[in-house]
Chains A and B, each alone.
Chain A
């Protein structure tokens, strides 16, 4: 029998993408495209600008410059490869074992090699597109600074492509082995924990080795030591190192084909080995992945603890909150993100603690207050990212069960209320801890401590409301993976709006706090004047409006949902 072409096996995938684009266009998605293009361009321009500035500086440094440029590229590519391996492990589980089209493909007379290649391509595209886009401004900056010319573009593509293939094959192979080794239903949970634990470990390790010391050559015994460190490749066996060498060789007109040959031959070898492994293990793994769970749960603990605390609430609200908490803690892909969150908080506090504010020369009151104030913005951004991950998807995750909620007499306000507070209370606790602890580390005054805590409380309430609102305006009811929801267009718009809110609130409050800082600096008594009150009022109004209006919009939108 003639086997269908690889393109034919992938037809439903690319046709779905094309159809989705058409629907977007038909639904007047032009504005969306413009916003995406603007944000994307701004991001690219930012990365390009920063790198261009650094690389131009490097270029002017004799001997050391090219080494630093090469090292930086190597580190960037190594980070990308590490992220891609993790991302491919997770994506491969969905595309090779849980995707909806697998029943059809496995039941059809499609041979194992086509199935492998089709699913590998799907995994590669799903997990690598963001990294691929990220490499564009980076390599563009290298190309422009080192005058690579137009031929550098196809050359860079030829280098990056195998670098994307390698983690895809490796990630898929790891998943294949894991699915075969661990109990089927636990594999997904295990993978979530392993991947997030590994990511958290990498972040923690990277931060604790204090890479900023590399930027301080005075820490090395002499310049030769420093150059020696830079000259040493991270490891001659790392594909990211081959890619960096290949690109720098081309750009410095010292072309050496070996790294490129190594990249392509290794990618081809990996695909062959991956295909062989797939042939051996896929059928058994796929069968295992179909097996049902055997897990008895009584849920008495939640009922007795959270249920008792919420006893004063009406039964519908109480059951709804209990349901949301149970679902969160029973879904490993959800709660395991808390590991990453905890690490980020530790790194955040570590960074604040590492600031050279209270070492050596005493730093002025002005700078401590300024840092504490800017810290509010940073903490707000961290909270926005967490809200994007946990609160933004809340409405989307109800999608398939919306038939039940809409056909029951549940008041939509109760639903919104539950979603809002279940997300906001933990966020608020975190926000207060983060701001309180950093302010203690910064040794700020009582006034700034109070301003900080009140501001972060108001910002948290607003950020949570915005997350819920945008999650309702841009729901992703068909997505099965909650982790993909925040990366949607709605998630992007939410982050943009939140950043604008943070900037506006911090700007207005700084106007108020500046008068206080000036007064303390000049040893004058602090005068609470009309302007100070006005700017505090502006900040408070912004937060109140950003809380009340989004919640109202979310409710209106929810009332129009049809299923």
Chain B
């Protein structure tokens, strides 16, 4: 469903992503992990069509995001890490606006918006300007907006940031059900416990390159990690052991 082919991004002389090739099939929840600055957000933003790749391409359901952008984006729902939305619209208006961007309107949209607002406990806030929403409420609204047009795949950057435990649990359930029904989710996260529990496949990014990719079992096998947890694997692959020692020194 989501296919990255030799995806590369340079910012001047800095290589943010270096020939990334990944395939996320339909019905899979794919977790993208990596230390800060590894290139996760850049990769996700290129998949969403916000950034242009320096080289390589992104295919969504077979459509190139840069060439057949409209067809590719119709299939996609994107949830960014920072919830910037129009402060002077109400929650309901924002959902209606986003649906309009996908060419949808009328009773179907109104019903869907009402359902989503209900699920995310925003119904009583739907006629309030977004400027009054908390960070978590904005995040919930953006998640709702990514689902309003019934996408085939969701690309999400740090989905749990700002959500309360109930919201986080709800999101996990929604993603699981979405994937079980044949949808595809590609998410980046720093919460390794979440990734370990939720993701069918995992890719670990380090300095713009994929250093490990596959199911947990496949990664363990490939790196001779026995029964190591995802956290131990992550630290091993991204050089985090040195940091851990430093933390111990600082903690004394």
* Residues A327 and B89 in contact, CB atoms below 8 Å apart: yes
Measured in the bound complex, the distance between the Cα atoms of B102 and A405 in whole Å is 10
Is A326 an interface residue when CB atoms closer than 8 A count as contact? yes
Is A320 an interface residue when CB atoms closer than 8 A count as contact? yes
Which A residues, 261 to 307, have Cβ-Cβ distances below 8 Å to chain B? 292-299
* Total inter-chain residue pairs, C-beta < 8 Å: 102
25 contacts between A and B (CB under 8 A): A293-B132, A295-B128, A296-B90, A297-B90, A299-B90, A315-B100, A315-B103, A315-B105, A316-B102, A320-B97, A320-B101, A401-B84, A403-B45, A404-B85, A404-B101, A404-B145, A406-B49, A406-B50, A407-B49, A407-B78, A409-B101, A409-B103, A410-B101, A562-B51, A563-B45
Is A314 an interface residue when CB atoms closer than 8 A count as contact? yes
* Residues B93 and A407 in contact, CB atoms below 8 Å apart: no
Is A308 an interface residue when CB atoms closer than 8 A count as contact? no
Residues of B within 8 A of A403 (CB): 45, 48, 50, 78, 80, 84
Instruction: Kindly name the residue among A401, A402, A403, A405 whose own CB sees the greatest number of chain B CB atoms within 10 A.
Output: A403
Select B96's contact among A319, A407, A410, A560, beta carbons within 8 Å: A319
Is B76 an interface residue when CB atoms closer than 8 A count as contact? yes
Select A323's contact among B45, B70, B76, B86, beta carbons within 8 Å: B86
Residues of B within 8 A of A299 (CB): 89-90, 93
* A308-351 Cβ-contact flags toward B at 8 Å (1 or 0): 00000011101110110011001100000000000000000000
Chain B's closest residue to A559 (CB) is B52
Instruction: Kindly name the residue among B97, B105, B145 whose own CB sees the greatest number of chain A CB atoms within 10 A.
Output: B97
Residues of A within 8 A of B85 (CB): 401, 404
Is A411 an interface residue when CB atoms closer than 8 A count as contact? yes
Residues of B within 8 A of A404 (CB): 78, 85, 98, 101, 145
Which B residues, 58 to 73, have Cβ-Cβ distances below 8 Å to chain A? 69-71, 73
* Residues A407 and B89 in contact, CB atoms below 8 Å apart: no
Which B residues, 94 to 130, have Cβ-Cβ distances below 8 Å to chain A? 96-105, 127-129
Measured in the bound complex, the distance between the Cα atoms of B48 and A410 in whole Å is 13
* Residues A407 and B86 in contact, CB atoms below 8 Å apart: no
* Residues A330 and B129 in contact, CB atoms below 8 Å apart: yes
Residues of B within 8 A of A408 (CB): 73, 98, 101-102
Measured in the bound complex, the distance between the Cα atoms of B105 and A513 in whole Å is 52
Residues of A within 8 A of B70 (CB): 409, 411
Select A298's contact among B78, B96, B127, beta carbons within 8 Å: B127
Nearest Cβ on chain B to A488's Cβ, whole angstroms = 21
Select A401's contact among B86, B105, B127, beta carbons within 8 Å: B86
Which A residues, 387 to 442, have Cβ-Cβ distances below 8 Å to chain B? 400-411
Chain A's closest residue to B72 (CB) is A409
* Residues A331 and B127 in contact, CB atoms below 8 Å apart: no
Residues of A within 8 A of B90 (CB): 296-299
Q: A297-B127, A319-B100 provided; 6 other pairs, C-beta below 8 A?
A: A295-B129, A315-B105, A408-B102, A409-B103, A410-B101, A563-B45
* Residues A296 and B128 in contact, CB atoms below 8 Å apart: yes
A residues touching B (Cβ–Cβ < 8 Å)? 292-299, 314-316, 318-320, 322-323, 326-327, 330-331, 400-411, 560, 562-563
Select B89's contact among A292, A315, A323, A560, beta carbons within 8 Å: A323
Is B173 an interface residue when CB atoms closer than 8 A count as contact? no
* Residues B128 and A315 in contact, CB atoms below 8 Å apart: no
* Residues A320 and B100 in contact, CB atoms below 8 Å apart: yes
Measured in the bound complex, the distance between the Cα atoms of B96 and A144 in whole Å is 64
Is B74 an interface residue when CB atoms closer than 8 A count as contact? yes
Is B223 an interface residue when CB atoms closer than 8 A count as contact? no
Measured in the bound complex, the distance between the Cα atoms of B69 and A204 in whole Å is 52
Nearest Cβ on chain B to A419's Cβ, whole angstroms = 15
Chain A's closest residue to B105 (CB) is A315
Is B131 an interface residue when CB atoms closer than 8 A count as contact? yes
Residues of A within 8 A of B69 (CB): 409
Measured in the bound complex, the distance between the Cα atoms of B129 and A299 in whole Å is 10
Measured in the bound complex, the distance between the Cα atoms of B1 and A283 in whole Å is 54
Measured in the bound complex, the distance between the Cα atoms of B96 and A318 in whole Å is 11
Measured in the bound complex, the distance between the Cα atoms of B78 and A562 in whole Å is 16
Nearest Cβ on chain B to A294's Cβ, whole angstroms = 7
* Residues A315 and B93 in contact, CB atoms below 8 Å apart: no
Chain B's closest residue to A331 (CB) is B88
Residues of A within 8 A of B76 (CB): 407
Instruction: Kindly name the residue among A299, A401, A408, A562 whose own CB sees the greatest number of chain B CB atoms within 10 A.
Output: A408
Nearest Cβ on chain B to A333's Cβ, whole angstroms = 11
* Residues A562 and B50 in contact, CB atoms below 8 Å apart: yes
Instruction: Kindly name the residue among A314, A407, A410 whose own CB sees the greatest number of chain B CB atoms within 10 A.
Output: A407
* Residues B98 and A326 in contact, CB atoms below 8 Å apart: no
Measured in the bound complex, the distance between the Cα atoms of B36 and A118 in whole Å is 34
Residues of B within 8 A of A326 (CB): 88-89, 93
* Residues B86 and A295 in contact, CB atoms below 8 Å apart: no
Measured in the bound complex, the distance between the Cα atoms of B131 and A331 in whole Å is 11
* Residues B48 and A406 in contact, CB atoms below 8 Å apart: yes
Residues of B within 8 A of A402 (CB): 50
- Counting from the closest, the 7 A-B pairs by CB-CB distance are A319-B100, A407-B78, A407-B48, A400-B84, A409-B73, A330-B88, A408-B101
* Residues A562 and B100 in contact, CB atoms below 8 Å apart: no
* Residues B84 and A293 in contact, CB atoms below 8 Å apart: no
Nearest Cβ on chain B to A316's Cβ, whole angstroms = 5
Residues of B within 8 A of A319 (CB): 96-97, 99-101, 105
Chain B's closest residue to A334 (CB) is B88
Residues of A within 8 A of B102 (CB): 316, 408-409
Measured in the bound complex, the distance between the Cα atoms of B98 and A404 in whole Å is 8
Chain A's closest residue to B85 (CB) is A401
* Residues A293 and B50 in contact, CB atoms below 8 Å apart: no
Nearest Cβ on chain B to A401's Cβ, whole angstroms = 6
Nearest Cβ on chain A to B237's Cβ, whole angstroms = 29
Which B residues, 26 to 48, have Cβ-Cβ distances below 8 Å to chain A? 45, 48
